[in-house]
Structure 1
Amino acid sequence: MKVITFPGQGTPVALNVFRSYLAEGSSAFRAVFRDSGRIGVTRTIEQRPADPVSIAACSFLLFDLYRRSRKNNAEELLFLGHSLGELGCLGAGNRLFGLSETMKIASLRNKLMINAAGGNKYELWAISAPRSQNLECELQPLLRVTDVNLANVNSRMQCVVTVPQGYTTDSKGTPQWAAELALQVPRCRIQRLENPYHIPFHNKNILQGIEEPLLDHMWQKLKSQGLHTKRELEHPIISNLNGKRITDVDKALESFAKSSCNVVNFVACCDTLNSLGVSKAVHIGPGEVIGKLMHRNCKLEKSQEWNTVEDITKELGDVQDSNSLE
């Protein structure tokens, strides 16, 4: 059994890498990235590489490329996305949404989160503690007495939090809460992450109102494609919400909507993969962030990056030019 992963909104498309896809002359790359019907998509990615629409679209295109390899078609697959990446599991992975629909859902989700913030701006910080056995638990005192909110539990030694912009900082630009945490947690490293839309990611107190409109929009998209009566997924998805394996379409849609406004429990997802005995993984780009997280959390015999031209051509083998996801 092999798991396919997709990255989240914090992994922008690297333009030098993306342009190498466009320049690659093999038939598979030409069919995916230079199709006349996708010119607008590739232009969007080049113009706005950090936009969630571009990240979702790039993942979709790269998985289209992956599916064209004959040697990959017979494998038993399941899917795991990180935050926005869970949309890739629904669209590219299970063909519930085409490329255009996937981009529209990514755009709506982003707009709903921005609107829910009500004009307030938030920062995103990664907290790493190599000596910790359970960093999430060590953060609980901080979460109880400050406006710091947990967003992602990426490993037992790394979490991501969102914080309202404007906290008092020291001479090095470190917020007071971060300085206090560094004194409490041995060898704690705190790093600000890019958050171009200043979103309070996975903060239930602020974002819970986006669940219903996002879920309703996805059902309407399924209905417009005649897929609203479909009950079983083609391939199981591991839910960001609780790490459970999902095989039902309705539960998969609900998982993505709920996990968009709740903490991403990536550790629970990886624990499930370990319990299922999953030994192989392909990490669909952009970027290599999810591959690194999986390396920390999972017992994998083989792990492949599907990101750079070199990574892909090494694994691609023979292709089927007609096997498009659209």
Structure 2
Amino acid sequence: MITAYLFPGQGSQFVGMGKELYDSNPDAAAYFDKANDLLGFDLKEIMFEGPEEKLKQTEFTQPAIFLHSVALFKTLDATPDMVAGHSLGEFSALVACGAISFEDALKIVRRRGELMQQAGTDNPGTMAAIIGMDDEAVEKVCAKATEQTGKEVIAANYNCPGQLVISGYKEAVEKAVEIAKDNGARLAKLLPVSGAFHSTLMQPAFDGLKAQLEELEISEPGCPIYSNYNAEPTTDPDEIRLNLLNQLLNPVRWTQTLYNMHNDGVEDFVEIGPGKVLQGLVKRTLKDVNISGHH
């Protein structure tokens, strides 16, 4: 039986996340305490007590979800056959398969969160969810909105068939929402995010993270990791490095990742981390697989 471990990204956070794990498992608790020492602020308190407004800020959300996922994974004594993570979750997945250390990943995730939040301030943009249209239809809607406004909007998260998130300049995203509604989308609505993630508006984050990623020590992982950037498996450290950087400016190809994992023989998917977002996406993408989770 081939098992794939999946790790969630931004949007899965909630106040109180990880508290039960911390209280019940000393091995997991050690990771939370180590994270506080490494970061130099009380991430644990933000996760356990909030306030929600603070936890929702990208610079805190990203290390919080990463920490929860990795601490949980480390308590399972699991050996994945393959791994993948949604956006930020790619870093959790890389720790799980042994490609990068917890300490290095935490520092870079914290930096990535700060840079993405800053890029959202420097290049204001937004994102919207489009439900009930196929991929190609959404891509056409984005192309039309870009043409009409002269500003970029692209399909940024291919989450599952009929559920995409678009990203770009505010007026272009608003125009795309309008066009999608006119063209029969079941739902098209703006999301409460602090920037146009996975689009060219994240260029400052790309530039800021480049030097740190170039210095990051990446080992050959114990199993293939399927990257967001191209939905393909790799065990090559140089490819992994490039994929992590390219991910900032390009769509998350989650639907394609799930199809590829399934085609490569996966029958069991296990989501590790807060929430059940990825379990839902697997169920809506693949029919004959088992899906479970550890939260």
TM-score with structure 2 length normalisation?
0.82
CA shift, 1:126, in A, is 0.8
| Partners of 1:210 and 1:34 in 2: CA distance | 30
Q: 1:228-247 maps to which residues of 2 (within 5 A)?
A: 230=219, 232-247=220-235
Residue aligning to 2:159: 154
Q: Look up the equivalent residue of 2:106 and give its one-letter code.
A: M
Residue in structure 1 matching 2:271, options 273, 277, 283: 283
Kept in 2: contact 1:62–1:306 (CA 8 A): yes
Mark the CA change 1:164 to 1:125 in structure 2 (over 3 Å): closer, same or farther. Answer: same
CA shift, 1:81, in A, is 0.7
Mark the CA change 1:32 to 1:181 in structure 2 (over 3 Å): closer, same or farther. Answer: same
Residue in structure 1 matching 2:192, options 174, 191, 194: 194
3-state SS of paired residue (1:15): coil
Q: Look up the equivalent residue of 2:191 and give its one-letter code.
A: L
| Partners of 1:35 and 1:216 in 2: CA distance | 26
Residue aligning to 2:262: 274
Residue in structure 2 matching 1:295, options 276, 283, 288: 283
Asked if residue 63 in structure 1 is aligned to residue 51 in structure 2, the reply is no
CA shift, 1:244, in A, is 0.9
| Partners of 1:176 and 1:4 in 2: CA distance | 37
Specify the structure having the higher radius of gyration (Cα). 1
Q: 1:168-317 maps to which residues of 2 (within 5 A)?
A: 175=174, 177-184=176-183, 186-195=184-193, 198-204=194-200, 206-211=201-206, 213-222=208-217, 230=219, 232-307=220-295
Mark the CA change 1:247 to 1:287 in structure 2 (over 3 Å): closer, same or farther. Answer: same
Q: Look up the equivalent residue of 1:92 and give its one-letter code.
A: A
* Unpaired runs of at least 5, structure 2: 37-42
* Unpaired runs of at least 5, structure 1: 169-173, 223-227, 308-326
Asked if residue 119 in structure 1 is aligned to residue 122 in structure 2, the reply is yes
Q: Look up the equivalent residue of 2:125 and give its one-letter code.
A: Y
Q: CA RMSD in A?
A: 2.7
CA shift, 1:9, in A, is 1.8
Residue aligning to 1:31: 27
CA shift, 1:32, in A, is 1.0
Residue aligning to 1:312: none
Mark the CA change 1:175 to 1:279 in structure 2 (over 3 Å): closer, same or farther. Answer: same
Residue in structure 2 matching 1:93, options 89, 92, 97: 97
3-state SS of paired residue (2:55): coil
3-state SS of paired residue (1:233): coil
- Give me the identity figure in percent: 22
Residue aligning to 1:22: 22
State the aligned residue count.
277
| Partners of 2:107 and 2:30 in 1: CA distance | 21
TM-score with structure 1 length normalisation?
0.75
For residues 229-259 of structure 1, the C-alpha deviation after alignment (integer angstroms, 9 at most, x for no partner) is x4x2211110111111111111112111111
3-state SS of paired residue (2:82): strand
Mark the CA change 1:212 to 1:36 in structure 2 (over 3 Å): closer, same or farther. Answer: closer
Q: Look up the equivalent residue of 2:233 and give its one-letter code.
A: R
